[in-house]
């Protein structure tokens, strides 16, 4: 039986901060990982030798938070197998301090550690308790410094991970749990703090990342549920919206995807109605790690009620499709229903710097209600 409902669960954690009245000079994204959390049996962090302590601590903390979220959901009444749980992290969750070592420049992981993070995520959620969960694991930042003698490339990559046993035969389909897709951020911003090339802009790799085979990865269908992902600055550049708009012409006349979800993992990027591309009746799911964001704007769930464009001169408003480049989405906020504060200690990411000069917010898990899945 296909999914009939979905529930958004957001892990609200600061991943970008700055000192008051000193934006953008004091921006920091990537600081000490803090204390190491205990091992969670059903969420194993089977870290190979290559994975250094900073990444391991962040992975084990994530395992602990997911474990708390599962337990808390049972206390709220739980969900049946027909409800898809979408668990989302903000951008920059996996980002180390540069002080870890010379090959961690610009707060990014060296190649072996970077790839190991995704290897762990691939197997971490393979327990029966998470068979109806989908994890949007924020982003990890990596570099190619040790792999090249020329200008290094910096990655900012998001992993989409399906939970549950490795092989599941369900809903008439056989599927594999684990990493479903790794999506590369196309544009880097000042907050990224990267001085150099990113794959989408580097002269040596730009053509590859502009190739349709790479662009189309942003649009997914998982267990019959269509969705697409933007990473922060890519949203304001309409990267996902343009991908959906190009679909029919690039896919030999195939029908344009009607996305049930427009996913946005961010570090200081609000939802822009002109860049939303979920179908009418679909939803925008966002989680942002900017420490100054008010509680109402850290994670958001918004329903799309229509798209419109105001004709110039006459000023008349007309309805348009989600892919119209001039169209804007009308959005209705869906409030959260429950929050769970992250306990003090190793479950929390520590505040950077000394004292309290950096902006901060309380770390928590936010639950939205179970909602009928868009048709």
pLDDT of residue 50: 61
Q: What is the pLDDT of residues 230-248, one digit of tens each?
A: 999 899 999 999 999 999 9
Distance CA 187, CA 274 (A): 18
Are the CB atoms for 279 and 322 separated by under 8 Å? yes
Bigger pLDDT: 22 vs 349: 349
DSSP string spanning 231-299? ETHHHHTTHHHHHHHTHHHHTTTPPPP--SEEEEEESS----GGG--PPTT-EEEEEE-BTTS-HHHHE
pLDDT of residue 197: 63
Q: Which residues pair with 372 in a beta bridge?
A: 5
Bigger pLDDT: 153 vs 118: 118
pLDDT of residue 202: 65
Q: What is the pLDDT of residues 120-166, one digit of tens each?
A: 999 999 999 999 999 999 999 999 887 755 678 888 999 999 999 87
Distance CA 83, CA 79 (A): 6
pLDDT at 1 over 60: no
pLDDT at 370 over 60: yes
pLDDT, mean of residues 299-319: 92
Distance CA 300, CA 306 (A): 18
Rounded percentage of the chain residues whose pLDDT exceeds 70:
91
Q: What is the pLDDT of residues 181-239, one digit of tens each?
A: 999 988 777 776 666 666 666 666 677 677 888 899 999 999 889 999 999 989 999 99
Bigger pLDDT: 170 vs 42: 42
List C-alpha distances in Å: 218 to 10, 177, 235, 244, 283: 20, 18, 12, 9, 16
pLDDT of residue 105: 87
- Residue 262's pLDDT band (cuts 50, 70, 90): very high
pLDDT at 51 over 90: no
Q: What angle do CA 141, 216, 88 make, to 5 degrees?
A: 50
pLDDT at 36 over 60: yes
Bigger pLDDT: 297 vs 113: 113
């Amino acid at each position: 039986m296909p999914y009939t409902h979905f529930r958004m669960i957001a892990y609200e954690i600061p991943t970008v901060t700055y000192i008051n009245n000193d934006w953008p000079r004091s921006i920091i994204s990537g600081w000490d990982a803090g204390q190491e959390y205990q091992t969670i049996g059903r969420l194993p962090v089977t870290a190979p030798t290559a994975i250094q302590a900073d990444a391991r601590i962040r992975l084990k903390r994530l395992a602990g938070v997911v474990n708390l979220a599962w337990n808390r959901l049972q206390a709220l009444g739980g969900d049946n197998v027909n409800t898809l749980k979408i668990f989302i992290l903000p951008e920059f969750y996996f980002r180390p301090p540069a002080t870890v070592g010379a090959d961690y420049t610009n707060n990014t992981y060296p190649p072996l550690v970077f790839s190991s993070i995704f290897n762990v995520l691939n197997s971490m959620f393979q327990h029966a308790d998470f068979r109806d969960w989908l994890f949007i694991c924020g982003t990890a930042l990596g570099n190619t410094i040790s792999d090249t003698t020329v200008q290094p490339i910096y990655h900012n990559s998001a992993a989409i991970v399906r939970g549950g046993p490795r092989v599941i035969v369900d809903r008439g389909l056989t599927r594999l749990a684990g990493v479903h897709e790794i999506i590369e951020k196309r544009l880097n911003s000042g907050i990224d703090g990267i001085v150099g090339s990113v794959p989408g802009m580097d002269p040596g790799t730009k053509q590859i990342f502009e190739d349709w085979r790479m662009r189309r990865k942003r649009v997914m269908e998982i267990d019959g549920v269509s969705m697409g992902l933007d990473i922060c600055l890519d949203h304001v550049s309409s990267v996902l919206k343009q991908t959906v708009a190009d679909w029919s012409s690039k896919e030999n006349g195939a029908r344009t995807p009607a996305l049930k979800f427009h996913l946005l993992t961010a570090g200081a990027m609000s939802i822009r109605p002109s860049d939303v591309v979920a179908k009418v009746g679909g939803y925008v799911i966002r989680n942002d790690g900017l420490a100054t964001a008010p509680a109402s704007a850290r994670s958001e769930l918004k329903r799309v009620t229509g798209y419109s464009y105001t004709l110039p001169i006459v000023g008349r408003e007309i309805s348009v499709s989600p892919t119209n480049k001039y169209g804007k989405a009308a959005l209705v906020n869906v409030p959260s229903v429950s929050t769970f504060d992250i306990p003090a200690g190793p479950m929390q990411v520590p505040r950077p710097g000394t004292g309290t000069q950096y902006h901060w917010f309380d770390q928590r898990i936010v639950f939205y209600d179970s909602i009928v899945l868009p048709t």
